[in-house]
Amino acid sequence: MPNASLLKEFESLIGKENVLTSEADRQCYSYDATPHAPVVPELVLRPTRVEELGPLIKRCYSVGFHIVVRGSGTNLSGGVVPDNRETVVILTNALNRILEINTEDCYAVVEPGVVTARFAEEVRKAGLFYPPDPSSMSVSTLGGNVAENAGGLRGLKYGVTKDYLLGLDFYDAEGQLIKTGSRTVKCATGYNLAGLLTGSEGTIGVMSRLIMRLVPPPKAAQAMKATFASTVAAAEAVAGIIAAHIVPCTLEFLDNVTLNRIEDFKGIGLPRDAAAMLLVEVDGHPAQVKEEAEAVCEVLRQCGGDVQMAGDAKERDAVWEARRLALPSLARMRPTCILEDATVPRSKLPALMTAIDGIASRYRLELGVFGHAGDGNMHPTFMCDKRDKDEMERVESAIAELFEQTIALGGTLSGEHGTGITKSRWLELEVGEATLAFCRKMRRAFDPKGLFNSSKIIGV
Ligand SMILES: Cc1cc2nc3c(=O)[nH]c(=O)nc-3n(C[C@H](O)[C@H](O)[C@H](O)COP(=O)(O)OP(=O)(O)OC[C@H]3O[C@@H](n4cnc5c(N)ncnc54)[C@H](O)[C@@H]3O)c2cc1C
């Protein structure tokens, strides 16, 4: 515990009620959405004004505390598990003001702790559209989304968080305010520090303000679902849609295990005997939607899909309910749920699906697969029990093989969940030693004492 005079300093900076020292409070910030072993931090600080971040960071850094900045803690890579017991967790959940929604120039300025769904809803009420929609959006923050470069169901057509980031401010290790980007659609001024902070997972600085791009909402949408007799046929349909140069806004995959676990959980009428299901939505101008829906339908049928179009808003919602239930339905099956994030070029999806089937049977593991098939981004989800040593060793080996095969297919370790602690040991396999050495040098330049989320991504 910091000494009394340091605690007093923090209290005078942010108010006594925002300096959390009790064991119970600190326990709450010892873990995130991954099964990593919790680490109780030394102290939790909850600034309520962004200007407080600079002096807080400067003081923590000079004392030598490890600093973990935390949005809502929903990340899936161990990103906010404290590095050690000398860690100070800085919460952003009280930095949650939407400062501006500009409907004329189509941008918004927000603080980092704004919850994604609240932001999307305020933007919608203003007549505009913020497309990135991670499944966690009712809880996750925009700061966490930028720091993980979060994706979502609409990534295929609309891109991911980075595609909506125009600029940002952040505090560096010395507590200095650094500004980058602009409210303009284009900005080629200086280094692209917003790009550097995107996906930086709290290892470079603490974001205090974000400028997000907004777009006009689509005028119409058409959802549909198709069932297949094999996962490879479904994967071929995805590759076929992409190869036909149609860009649905959403193209999602659920395998047989996932369909059955959803039925066990909620019984929403999904076919238990289908090997796989694709959920598709096209959006845009009504005429374009009609044409694209027909073209998608044609490809799905050519690949053996049994297609059902959503007739109205209720049926459209039913299509997406299946997708929303995928992770909760799998997660409730066993004590531990490990959600992976393998991503390959779309043409390689059939090969990835074959590889996953082989891995599951070789290591005798129970896993369900769902994901953003249109992005080539699959979430093989291992249902296991971390108390079972033998099973966890098999899971570990299966994940190692999954990554090796993903990279061999020209893919990447993470499509959207980031590196954190979970994937850092595999990074060299994908990028090589020279790249890791370069990143370590770069990181040291910004954080010479190695205190910003120090065990994450590459470690320091
Ligand atoms: C059920 C579920 C579904 C999910 N679905 C998706 C999905 O569809 N797509 C997807 O991409 N992800 C998904 N995720 C993962 C997760 O929600 C995202 O990674 C999200 O962006 C994390 O936001 P957060 O506010 O919880 O950040 P946290 O978990 O609190 O933090 C994430 C990282 O961001 C850093 N960080 C947070 N705020 C700042 C800041 N102000 N400055 C600098 N660094 C900061 C942290 O240090 C940490 O490294 C899902 C997670 C769950 C549990």
Instruction: Please give the CATH number for the structural domain made up of 98-213.
Output: 3.30.465.10
Closest C-alpha to 153, from 258, 255, 283, 263 = 283
Q: Which CATH architecture has domain 4-91?
A: 2-Layer Sandwich (3.30)
pLDDT for the residue 419: 96
> For tokens 């896993």, what's the residue?
367
Query: d(Cα 31, Cα 12) in Å, to the nearest integer?
Result: 28
pLDDT for the residue 1: 74
Do 209 and 92 form a contact (C-beta atoms < 8 A)? no
Minimum CA distance residue for ligand 1 atom 37: 144
The mean pLDDT value for 281-291 works out to 96
Question: Among 8-17, 65-74, 340-349, where is mean pLDDT lowest?
Answer: 340-349
The mean pLDDT value for 97-121 works out to 98
Query: d(Cα 281, Cα 111) in Å, to the nearest integer?
Result: 31
187 CB burial (10 A radius; 0-12, 13-18, 19+): middle
Q: State pLDDT tens for residues 325-336.
A: 999 999 999 999
Q: Distances in Å between the alpha carbon of 6 and those of 16, 65, 66, 171, 261?
A: 12, 12, 15, 21, 51
Q: State pLDDT tens for residues 248-270.
A: 999 999 999 999 999 999 999 99
pLDDT for the residue 144: 98
Minimum CA distance residue for ligand 1 atom 44: 202
Question: Which DSSP string do the residues of 190-232 spell out, in sequence order?
Answer: S--HHHHHTT-TTSS-EEEEEEEE-BPPPSEEEEEEEEESSHH
Q: Which two tokens stand for residue 36?
A: 């990593």
Ranges of each domain in the chain? 4-91, 98-213, 220-408
Is the alpha carbon torsion for 221, 226, 230, 236 positive or negative?
A: negative
Question: Which residues form the pocket of ligand 1, taking CB atoms under 6 Å from any ligand atom?
Answer: 32-33, 68-76, 79-80, 92, 112, 134-136, 140-141, 143-145, 147-148, 150-152, 201-202, 206-207, 327, 416-417, 453
Interval between CA 82 and ligand 1 midpoint (Å)? 15
The CATH superfamily assigned to 220-408 is FAD-linked oxidases, C-terminal domain (3.40.462.10)
Minimum CA distance residue for ligand 1 atom 53: 74
**The pLDDT of residue 319 is above 90:** no
| Residue 2's pLDDT band (cuts 50, 70, 90) | confident
Q: Distances in Å between the alpha carbon of 322 and those of 160, 171, 265?
A: 22, 41, 11
Q: Are strands 66-70 and 43-45 parallel, antiparallel or unpaired?
A: unpaired
* Dihedral (Cα; 437, 413, 237, 224), 10-degree rounding: -120
pLDDT for the residue 318: 87
Locate the ligand 1 atom nearest the alpha carbon of residue 95 and give its number. 41
The mean pLDDT value for 261-281 works out to 96
**The pLDDT of residue 367 is above 90:** yes
Interval between CA 197 and ligand 1 midpoint (Å)? 14
| Residue 459's pLDDT band (cuts 50, 70, 90) | confident
